[in-house]
Amino acid sequence: MTLLATLATTLLQIWGNWVSPIPSTASLYFAGDAMQHIAQIESAEKEDGTYSYENCFTHVKEQVSEANLAICNLEVTLGGEPYRGYPQFSAPDEFAAALKETGFDILLTANNHCLDRRNKGLIRTLDVLDSLGIAHVGTYRDSAERDSLYPYITTVNNIKFAILNYTYGTNGIPVSPPCIVNLIDTAQILIDINKARSKKADVIIACMHWGDEYVLKQNKTQEQLTDWLIANGVNHIIGNHPHVIQPTELRKDKYNGGHHFIAYSLGNYISNMSARHTDIGLTATLRFSKLAFTTLLTDVSTDSVRTDRNGFIIRPFE
């Protein structure tokens, strides 16, 4: 085939895709705070000293696995023994293994408890996740690692997603070099957004650890930061930290006719919290469609889940 014929064939194929396009689709599942209080750890311990969490996720595993990509907030360190719950968490490695077995692909690690075991715990958490083959976003061993891995970019069915993750703080524990925790800093976030754009991300999702604990409505800071994030190129926002469900919002995009999904707080996914509203969490499944160079959010479904404290089993809440 001559060069001219090859070029003509290629142009016809491109034209055919425009005339009779087949959109690419992808679904992302988001869950709230995955926690391990001491009662949960004791409940999971077996006679041989190992830990089993497989029963905790039996009733949600199918829903998690149905999504192309599943993400939740890991609100503990995997800092090794002695295992501890609140106020400074260190959970058994088996907890992370159970999240992977359930179908979670990405764990968010930038939260106020990520330094509960200081740098050693932060690094060990990342080591365990790496050993299990679970992607993680939000904390880093050093600046070189952050530069190479962040923003986290993954492609699902020809749709390129950028996942960002930031926390308001670390419970007063200072971040000590060389480790890095992504803190909410608009100057740095803007750099990260622009980097995601330069990598040709179709969708940029910011996962924010923010807000007031146990308060059922977002605060002014959350609202202002939401406006800023969307104005600067973030497409969707998923919030955590308050441990209760806060409102969701579907906001129309000013330019392309699409929509921005905002969840101010998904609440707890699994925990031993007993305060009012803390036993119920929200999950959100976002579905996307890409046609040519445009990717749009086509559907959002939310479901409530509840932690049954008798065995710490997550069940759909009706």
User: Does 6 reside within a domain?
Assistant: no
- Identify the pLDDT of residue 4: 44
CB contact set of 130 (below 8 Å; sequence gap of 6+): 136
CB 86 within 8 A of CB 48: no
CATH number of the domain that residue 169 is part of? 3.60.21.10
- Identify the pLDDT of residue 255: 77
Quote the number of domains for the chain.
1
User: Does 17 reside within a domain?
Assistant: no
For residue range 127-151, list pLDDT tens digits in order: 999 999 999 999 999 999 999 999 9
- Identify the pLDDT of residue 251: 95
- Identify the pLDDT of residue 7: 43
Calculate mean pLDDT across residues 10-31: 69
User: Does 11 reside within a domain?
Assistant: no
Q: How far is CA 286 from the centre of its chain?
A: 12
- Identify the pLDDT of residue 312: 95
For residue range 28-52, list pLDDT tens digits in order: 999 999 999 999 999 999 999 999 9
Q: Model-level pTM?
A: 0.92
Q: How confident is the model at residue 317 (pLDDT cuts 50, 70, 90)?
A: confident
Q: Any idea which of 14-28, 29-43, 54-68, 298-312 has the lowest mean pLDDT?
A: 14-28
In angstroms, rounded to a whole number, what is the distance separating the alpha carbons of residues 233 and 217? 24
Q: How confident is the model at residue 254 (pLDDT cuts 50, 70, 90)?
A: confident
In angstroms, rounded to a whole number, what is the distance separating the alpha carbons of residues 94 and 101? 10
User: Does 227 reside within a domain?
Assistant: yes
CB 273 within 8 A of CB 39: no
Q: How confident is the model at residue 78 (pLDDT cuts 50, 70, 90)?
A: very high
User: Does 14 reside within a domain?
Assistant: no
Which candidate, 72, 65, 68, places its Cα nearest to that of 137?
72
Structural domain including 127 reads 24-316
| Segments in the chain forming alpha helices (H) | 3-19, 38-44, 61-66, 93-102, 118-132, 143-149, 186-198, 220-231
- Identify the pLDDT of residue 19: 45
User: Does 270 reside within a domain?
Assistant: yes
Which candidate, 275, 186, 291, places its Cα nearest to that of 234?
186
In angstroms, rounded to a whole number, what is the distance separating the alpha carbons of residues 236 and 64? 20
**Strand ranges, E, within the chain:** 24-34, 69-74, 106-108, 135-137, 139-140, 152-156, 159-167, 180-181, 203-209, 236-240, 248-252, 259-263, 268-270, 280-291, 294-308, 313-316
**Phi/psi of residue 12, each to 5°?**
-65, -40
Q: How confident is the model at residue 18 (pLDDT cuts 50, 70, 90)?
A: very low
- Identify the pLDDT of residue 10: 47
In angstroms, rounded to a whole number, what is the distance separating the alpha carbons of residues 31 and 105? 12
| Segments in 157-252 forming alpha helices (H) | 186-198, 220-231
Q: How confident is the model at residue 234 (pLDDT cuts 50, 70, 90)?
A: very high
